[in-house]
Amino acid sequence: MKILVVEDDQSIVELLMTLLQGQSYAVEVSHDGEAAWYLIEAFDYDLIILDIMLPQLNGIKLCQNIRSAGRSVPILMLTGRDDYHDRAIGLDAGADDYVVKPFHPEELLARVRALLRRGDTNPQVLLSWGALVLDPINCQVTWSDQLVPLTPKEYGLAELFLRYPKRVFSCSAILDHLWAHEDAPGEEAVRTHIKGLRQKLKAIDRPRHAIAPHPGEMVETVYGIGYRLRVLPIETSIDIPIDRQKNQLESMIQSIWQKSAGRIQAQVETIEEWRKEWEIDPGLISDALIGDGSGTETSAQQQLALREAHTLAGSLGTFGSPQGSAAARRIELILRENVMPSSAELTEVKTALEILRSEVSRLSTMIPGDAMPPNHRLPNRNLALPILLIINQDPLALRSQLMPFMNDRWQIEVAANLTDAERIVKLDPPNVIVIDPDVSYWTDHSLAFLNNLAQQSPPIPVVILTSHIDALERRSLIQSRASLLLTRSAQGELAPQQLVNAVQQAYDWGDFERVETTRTEGGGARILVVDDDPMILMLAQELLAPWGFEITTLVEPRQFWQVMEAVQPQLLLLDVVMPEVDGIELCRQVRTDAHWSELPIVVLTSAHKDTELVNQVFSAGADDCVSKPIIGPELVTRIVNRLERTKRLQRACTIDRSADRSANRAN
């Protein structure tokens, strides 16, 4: 594990080096804040110990810079300033811990270990692999309580693999973590130490009948790429069920359906009875209202119908009918919200009941034990349909226009004004909102509503019909969080298909925002992957995450610059063929941007033999070109190599700069 000590007092530096090196940590030292910043930009550290009073750039400012650059490396502030106010400033600047000088060595080392654990995926005090245990307090490795004699570097290797159990380390990454840059040997030295570690672990005597892998197999070679900790076999590994299990489950669920169909039909009929009675004689039901006279009374029959609708909403999706769940949900909301439903709402209930009956009959035609036809198979996720809220003066009319284009893939809620819309959002947040500004004066209320949507977790994307909006209002809208703006045609109408496409697009964007950046252990490089094919994005994530990279995926290239600024990537992986703006164009834009012109870019092409396309890619400024279909090891190797080459260049610059600074100081 490599620690950077930023301290201008030589006596403290010497004390820290003795303590930390005694624990087998690699230690680098910087005597001023500015030089430290260059080192942090160029090298990966596992921990930074930082003084506050530093020449050039003080510790507080340096700490803020590190955090603003998106670096999550643990920081321990070590300073003589013992005021509670100073401690608060230090911690608020982004430090993880604060120790006051003079410090006690035992306490300082314990805090260092605690901070190193915090950055891990493995927070255990003792690290283990089967019966092999590494104790970071005593710097010892044991196998079934028997001491394994390791050199400091072999111990460091064992600790590195155990702290980052899922990560693959190239020789260069191992050098980064275990050697100070001025002492770093060649990659051959890493191989020698790995060999030494393996030999010592292989020499361990263990019972012949033991089932667990031998400790000698702990470090696995990933050929052509690096090393990693071998995954221990787990006795029950059924996280991802095999197809047979899935088929068996589907068949058993069908059997439960067959057994319960009578009960489910009865639940539908209970709702139907309530509807009929209300339709025939609302007065009869309102006479039987239960409650405290506050105006929120409902009849016993309505309560029963509400309960049945709720149960159906929560179960039909599991049986394979998201449409059934959505219809029951609609009924539930109407019953929950209305003591006296309007005739339009009763019509809605009637339509939803028709859907329910048809879904119940569809599910009942399946025979238990038979494989489900493909369109009936259990979905893997999203059992509830996404909800679209339409806010419009005549929302029911707009809803009927859109329905034929929705292919039963959406549940549609409606509101005729912002107050109703706010109530629906509070009750059951939709996935996308279509809003027509005609519902209110396009004023503070509308903007407050939009801002409220942006505060939701996750934020709700909005499609705005912009027929009567002037330039000023448009600007305010853009400054709010509206995801998408649409303009009506000259006739004031928008084709339903166009609107449905916009809704789907807004939903996909929302989906992207819900996908968090994959943050992996080890604080690896940030990579932004841009491709309009979600499968490629998933594949890239799966391939690259084990390397400790922080992967952000972007399916919508029009959000490119917004995401670039937010993510601040260290490498860009770009698809060539994308709608609206292609990879070559994005590559050109990046190269002409003063801030981003040096960013390494790898481009994915689907036709490697198309020499003209490859020429265009390189002419646009790409550093490398990888053809699809993606071959995992090839992509990983090219990205790792590209990043390491960039790092080497940055380091060369850093070392040159440090040498210049030392020379200047000497003069």
Partner 1 sequence: MMKSMTMPKRILVVDNEAYIQEITKISLELVAGWEISTASSGAEAIIKAAAEQPDAILLDVMMPEMDGIETFHHLQAQPKTQNIPVILLTAQLRSADQSHYKALGIRDAIAKPFDPILLAQAIRKSLGWV
429 in contact with partner 1 (CB under 8 A):
yes
By three-state DSSP, how is residue 529 classified? strand
CB of 380 to partner 1, least distance (A): 6
CB of 217 to partner 1, least distance (A): 14
CB of 240 to partner 1, least distance (A): 8
Q: Which is nearer to partner 1, 76 or 306 (CB)?
A: 306
**Binder among 70, 165, 368, 496 for partner 1 (CB under 8 A):** 165
Q: Which is nearer to partner 1, 128 or 140 (CB)?
A: 128
Nearest by Cα to 76 from 57, 94, 107, 97: 97
Residue 104: CB atoms within 10 A of its CB come to 9
Judged by CB under 8 A, the chain residues 388 through 427 that form the site for partner 1 are: 426-427
Tokens of 183: 């002492």
CB of 96 to partner 1, least distance (A): 22
CB of 168 to partner 1, least distance (A): 17
363 in contact with partner 1 (CB under 8 A):
no
**Nearest-angstrom CA–CA distance, 335 and 345:** 9
222 in contact with partner 1 (CB under 8 A):
no
CB of 530 to partner 1, least distance (A): 29
Give the H/E segment covering residue 115.
Answer: helix 105-118
128 in contact with partner 1 (CB under 8 A):
yes
**Nearest-angstrom CA–CA distance, 352 and 320:** 17
CB of 300 to partner 1, least distance (A): 12
Q: Which is nearer to partner 1, 192 or 303 (CB)?
A: 303
Nearest by Cα to 54 from 30, 74, 18: 30
Q: Which residues pair with 330 in a beta bridge?
A: none
**Binder among 19, 384, 406, 515 for partner 1 (CB under 8 A):** 384
Tokens of 70: 């998106």
609 in contact with partner 1 (CB under 8 A):
no
Which residues contact residue 181 at a Cβ distance below 8 angstroms, ignoring those fewer than 6 apart?
28, 39, 43, 651, 655
Q: Which is nearer to partner 1, 110 or 249 (CB)?
A: 249
Q: Which is nearer to partner 1, 34 or 269 (CB)?
A: 269
Number of DSSP helices (H) and strands (E) in the chain, helices first:
23, 23
235 in contact with partner 1 (CB under 8 A):
yes
Pure H helices in 409-463? 418-427, 444-455
Give the H/E segment covering residue 146.
Answer: strand 146-148
Tokens of 17: 């080096």
238 in contact with partner 1 (CB under 8 A):
yes
Tokens of 220: 């696995």
CB of 454 to partner 1, least distance (A): 14
**Binder among 15, 89, 180, 383 for partner 1 (CB under 8 A):** 383
CA distances from 242 to 205, 236, 238, 248 (A): 37, 13, 8, 10
658 in contact with partner 1 (CB under 8 A):
no
Nearest by Cα to 465 from 474, 456, 457, 453: 474
Query: The tokens 């499609």 sit on which residue?
Result: 463
CB of 82 closer than 8 Å to CB of 54: no
Q: Which is nearer to partner 1, 45 or 319 (CB)?
A: 319
Q: Which is nearer to partner 1, 104 or 263 (CB)?
A: 263
Q: Which is nearer to partner 1, 245 or 393 (CB)?
A: 245
Number of residues that bind partner 1 (CB under 8 A): 54
Q: How buried is residue 106: exposed, middle or buried, by Cβ count under 10 Å (0-12/13-18/19+)?
A: exposed
209 in contact with partner 1 (CB under 8 A):
no
**Nearest-angstrom CA–CA distance, 77 and 62:** 11
Nearest by Cα to 447 from 458, 459, 433, 437: 437
Q: Which stretch binds partner 1 (CB under 8 A): 8-16, 126-134, 352-360, 647-655?
A: 126-134
Judged by CB under 8 A, the chain residues 500 through 529 that form the site for partner 1 are: none
CB of 317 to partner 1, least distance (A): 3
Which residues contact residue 664 at a Cβ distance below 8 angstroms, ignoring those fewer than 6 apart?
none
368 in contact with partner 1 (CB under 8 A):
no
369 in contact with partner 1 (CB under 8 A):
no
Which residues contact residue 100 at a Cβ distance below 8 angstroms, ignoring those fewer than 6 apart?
79, 80, 81, 82
380 in contact with partner 1 (CB under 8 A):
yes
**Nearest-angstrom CA–CA distance, 33 and 66:** 11
CB of 542 to partner 1, least distance (A): 17
Q: Which stretch binds partner 1 (CB under 8 A): 6-14, 53-61, 233-241, 659-667?
A: 233-241
Q: Which is nearer to partner 1, 165 or 496 (CB)?
A: 165
376 in contact with partner 1 (CB under 8 A):
no
Residue 460: CB atoms within 10 A of its CB come to 23
Judged by CB under 8 A, the chain residues 300 through 319 that form the site for partner 1 are: 307, 310-311, 313-319
**Binder among 299, 325, 553, 616 for partner 1 (CB under 8 A):** 325
Cis peptide before 600 (omega within 30 of 0): no
CB of 135 to partner 1, least distance (A): 14
Q: Which stretch binds partner 1 (CB under 8 A): 89-97, 242-250, 552-560, 586-594?
A: 242-250
621 in contact with partner 1 (CB under 8 A):
no
CA distances from 530 to 339, 433, 501, 573, 600 (A): 50, 26, 21, 6, 14
**Nearest-angstrom CA–CA distance, 249 and 246:** 5
Give the H/E segment covering residue 299.
Answer: strand 298-299
387 in contact with partner 1 (CB under 8 A):
no
Q: Which is nearer to partner 1, 245 or 487 (CB)?
A: 245
CB of 164 closer than 8 Å to CB of 548: yes
Q: Which is nearer to partner 1, 127 or 640 (CB)?
A: 127
119 in contact with partner 1 (CB under 8 A):
no
Q: Which is nearer to partner 1, 158 or 601 (CB)?
A: 158
Nearest by Cα to 19 from 118, 85, 144, 107: 107
142 in contact with partner 1 (CB under 8 A):
no
Judged by CB under 8 A, the chain residues 250 through 269 that form the site for partner 1 are: 252-253, 256-257, 259-260, 263-264
CB of 249 to partner 1, least distance (A): 5
Q: How buried is residue 622: exposed, middle or buried, by Cβ count under 10 Å (0-12/13-18/19+)?
A: buried
362 in contact with partner 1 (CB under 8 A):
no
541 in contact with partner 1 (CB under 8 A):
no
Q: Which is nearer to partner 1, 450 or 613 (CB)?
A: 450
239 in contact with partner 1 (CB under 8 A):
yes
Query: The tokens 């245990």 sit on which residue?
Result: 133
Nearest by Cα to 171 from 224, 231, 116: 224
3-state secondary structure 463-498: EEECCCCCHHHHHHHHHCCCCEEECCCCCCCCCHHH
Site for partner 1, rule CB under 8 A: 122, 124, 127-131, 162, 165, 232, 234-236, 238-239, 241, 245-246, 248-249, 252-253, 256-257, 259-260, 263-264, 307, 310-311, 313-319, 322, 325, 329, 332, 378-381, 383-384, 426-429, 456-457
